[in-house]
Structure 1
């Protein structure tokens, strides 16, 4: 592990992080000794290639680590990024009706309010991989602080969009998309920082499980505060308060996150880093971003126009062409944004499980919220309060996830168990009746789906973090984030489009029985998505088991040179 350096007091106590191989590992120290150590190790590695130098640094004994307080602050800051990103993703779902009323969108444009959630989730899922590549090029701390600063700026501007003319919500949707870019920078950089400073160990398992617990916690807290501001004040204060919190974390990140250690070749040292990105895959990045954005735009437009409009299926065709072109380009460039040649089939299976699981989760979240506020006629605040058990059950599920990891339950089985939780929740969801008691099936679905949230995400991130070389940690974290966030972005519009074909007037007729029918259709879509996740997870569980060694493979990449 690379030791970061800075020049402050040498009196900080040290805290060792023991790994499974009885070797002592440390978080970077803020001491003069750390600075001298970093300088010596850099000099010893100056004649090596960047990747070889990185491995050489990791094999050396790092200097003493920080105090327990500094380590706790480091964990809190990193976990906060996941918490704030999920809070931002969920808060707009509760505000859609308020956004429609505030901007006075006509009835034929009411479906545009869906962009309040989709714009954030889609840009977040799309730009995570370019952000992960930047982590490998310019350092995870730099990308992390930029992500928080960018998120702060656009949270402020989204709140200011309340002063836009009536009927013009474009700037609000645009601002939400720009917010997603900030969250995209936070996701891979935070996971890369955790993977860098925590080697495979029991402590790393605990830290990643707590990081995963921020998923249900962020969803619930973001929803509750969104409901409070929307019902008791104004929805814009939700974004301004988020700007204040993220500005605080931007500031303390500069002091509590250790400096980046970027090993460069002699040629790279002669160039100015901020004006030259070495071997960056510009064409592949453009094709990748274009394909994902256009594919998402296609599904969001289909909610209103269906596939009867030329612009919808033309957008779909162009997005698929860009994706195919991107795949071809990635196999021929020297430094692809997605290292397709090195990705192991096991990684693809894990990403598919995460993608379809979280696609189904957002469908469940969106339409259960509609069930509470429309069918049961709950206020915004009461509807948000009904999701509070999600965070409590999520905390218990996080402890259970730590137990599964500590008892060496294979990641393939954990991923399958998480996918089964999503499937079971949707099976219960599709049986909801108009007069259903909250403490019956709605409450059970909340408890069950929290298990899936806290098992699937930490399992996938640990799998990729432990199974890739140092130079691919940023991009590996980005792959998990892309699967998660992109799935959450396109889940509701896919369900809404299918509802439009099956029962076009169900959600607008005012008949609650028809509205419940639309919710059942959405739940069926969720069953299909989570069912795919279960099938893929089951296939991976069976095919990746070795009867010779009686164990599962832990490889996440194809063999690479330094093995």
Structure 2
């Protein structure tokens, strides 16, 4: 039937029915996207569990370990906006599959790395691939699930799949390290990548192409320099001191590059990051909360990994077991978060999650060398529960605040801010614990900083909601 003879809304519904895939195809698309996000998250906890083993095998100190983690997160954050725009331009399915293939090959390279420098370089390539995977997986979900409620629940499953990977990572990583060695933690990505590629090719629908989306290469370079210089300055501050000339130069380069990035985004006709998006208060609040939450949680995961292994002298396997209850709770909380948001409102749910994590951080302040795990477990579970509660409504709300044609870009902004937060958290908290005799002081200061930024996130999201009369 010719759409000219239908009302606009009726023709749109007819097209939606014709284009809508079967429930099975949607479910398998969701499975593929969850594998893509899951393998990205798996490397966070597996690598943190292996930090002591990697240092023993390849040498180096806390700074090198920070770079093993942050080479990944910096390239993740720096390239994710371009990756989202590239998916909008060339098709999210095509770009997602390229990212999955690159991630799989980089994982193979990490497992074969002969030294720390090579490992750090390959981790950077993994981060680039992760930047491609995450926004395009969300873009594919956003186009597969038209109904907002269905999309919210699909995002909850997507986040839960990543949470399951986070939970399995320490146990699987610790087991592999004990039985085979630390290199096996990267080889485990190979079968996941192959399955994810097959499912995507067989069941995911390609998104509409937007050939007018240009790539902002000057903005991309400025973003890389700004994030890299900021992370380098904070990491080196732990060894050199915050007033060291090289550290100060790093901060200056980061500031100048950041200003250059904003200037480029303002003046270019097709910016990597359209600043007009931030005129939408809802979009801005969600992006800021994502950054603050990751500063706290992922910075603390790095610190706790070293606390368990270096201060309490746990093995890699025991450290993996120590993280399982903490991360395991995220999975069921992710699943119930969309229903909580439907009941009390997404902003209230996000604020509740951030507050719960902040209170748990404060409850961990009495910890000391040799503190038994049973005295820490409940607080660690509370901290991760808050993260599990806030991520699904945060993601779904931000995606719902923009037009579908910008879904890849919006997902990229959220994940860029979150990964920037992770890089800042690891760099900052790692610098605070960098000196052996100051580890516990640095850990407690990290907990206080985390509580403050999480409470700030809760206040921001609630204040913004109150200003608009929304929940």
Determine helix, strand or coil for the equivalent of 2:271. Answer: coil
Which range moves more in the overlay, 76-85 or 481-490? Answer: 481-490
Is it true that 1:454 corresponds to 2:388 in the alignment? yes
Contact 2:354–2:387 (8 Å) recurs in 1? no
Q: Distance in 2 between matches of 1:258 and 1:189?
A: 12
Q: Establish whether residue 421 from structure 1 lines up as the match of residue 368 from structure 2.
A: no
Q: 1:89 aligns with which of 27, 44, 65?
A: 44
* Residue 440 (structure 2) pairs with residue 516 (structure 1): yes
The aligned residue for residue 135 of structure 1 is 87
**In 2 relative to 1, CA 69–60 (structure 1 residues): closer, same or farther, beyond 3 Å?**
closer
Aligned to 1:394: 330
Distance 1:282 1:208, change over 3 A: same
Within 5 Å, give how 1:452-491 maps onto structure 2.
452-491=386-425
Of 230, 233, 256, the match for 1:321: 256
Equivalences for 1:159-558 in 2 at 5 Å? Answer: 159-161=111-113, 164=114, 168-262=115-209, 279-343=214-278, 344-407=280-343, 409-440=344-375, 442-499=376-433, 504-506=435-437, 515-545=439-469, 551=470
Gaps of 5+ in 1: 1-36, 45-52, 269-277, 508-514, 546-550, 553-563
How many angstroms does 1:376 deviate by? 3.0
Structure 1 201/539 Cα, relative in aligned 2: closer, same or farther at 3 Å? Answer: closer
Whole-angstrom CA distance in 2 between matches of 1:328 and 1:110: 35
Give distance in 1, aligned partners of 2:24 and 2:322: 35
> Is this contact kept in 2: 1:416–1:541, CA < 8 A?
no
Report how many residues are paired: 465
Query: Who is 2:59 aligned against?
Result: 104
After the TM superposition, which of the residue ranges 323-332 and 395-404 deviates more from structure 2?
A: 395-404
- Per-residue deviation, 1:65: 4.1
CA distance in 2, matches of 1:202, 1:534: 24
Q: Which runs of 5+ in 2 are unaligned?
A: none
Is the 1:142–1:260 Cα contact (8 Å) retained in structure 2?
Answer: no
Task: State whether residues 148 and 246 of structure 1, in contact with CA within 8 Å, keep that contact through their aligned partners in structure 2.
Answer: yes
| Displacement of 1:147 | 0.8
Cα drift, residue 76 of structure 1 = 0.7
* TM-score, scaled relative to structure 2: 0.92
In proportion to residue count, which structure has more helix? 2
Q: 1:295 to 1:391 in 2, by over 3 A?
A: closer
1:58 shift after superposition: 8.0
Q: Distance between the aligned counterparts of 1:61 and 1:170, measured in 2?
A: 50
Distance 1:499 1:235, change over 3 A: closer
Q: 1:259: Cα distance to partner?
A: 2.7
Deviates more, 1:361-370 or 1:453-462: 361-370
Tell me if structure 2 keeps the 8 A contact 1:116–1:173. Answer: yes
Contact map agreement 1:427 1:523 (CA 8 A) in 2: yes
TM-score (norm 1): 0.77
Alpha-carbon contact 2:160-2:332 (below 8 Å) kept: no
Q: Alpha-carbon deviation of 1:102?
A: 0.9
What whole-Å deviation, never above 9, does each CA across 1:160-192 have from its counterpart, x for those lacking one? Answer: 11xx2xxx4101110011101111100100111
1:537 shift after superposition: 2.6
| Pair 1:128–1:226, CA change in 2 (3 A) | same
The 2-side partners of 1:517 and 1:463 are apart by 38
Q: 1:369 to 1:104 in 2, by over 3 A?
A: closer
Give the direction of change, closer, same or farther, for the CA distance of 1:327–1:79 in structure 2 (3 Å limit): same
Report if aligned partners of 2:52, 2:306 keep a CA contact under 8 Å in 1.
no
Higher relative contact order (CA 8 A, sep 6+): 2
Shift, 1:57, TM fit: 6.9
Distance of aligned partners of 1:332 and 1:120 in 2 relative to their CA distance in 1, 3 Å threshold: same
The answer to whether the 8 A contact 1:215-1:453 is kept is no
Contact kept? 1:279, 1:334, Cα under 8 Å: no
Give, in whole Å, the separation in 2 of the partners of 1:328 and 1:392.
43
Residues 47 and 185, structure 2, Cα contact 8 Å, conserved in 1: no
More divergent stretch after superposition (223-232 vs 137-146) = 223-232
Tell me whether 1:158 sits opposite 2:89 in the alignment. Answer: no
* Further displaced range: 384-393 or 224-233: 384-393
CA shift at 1:323, angstroms? 1.1
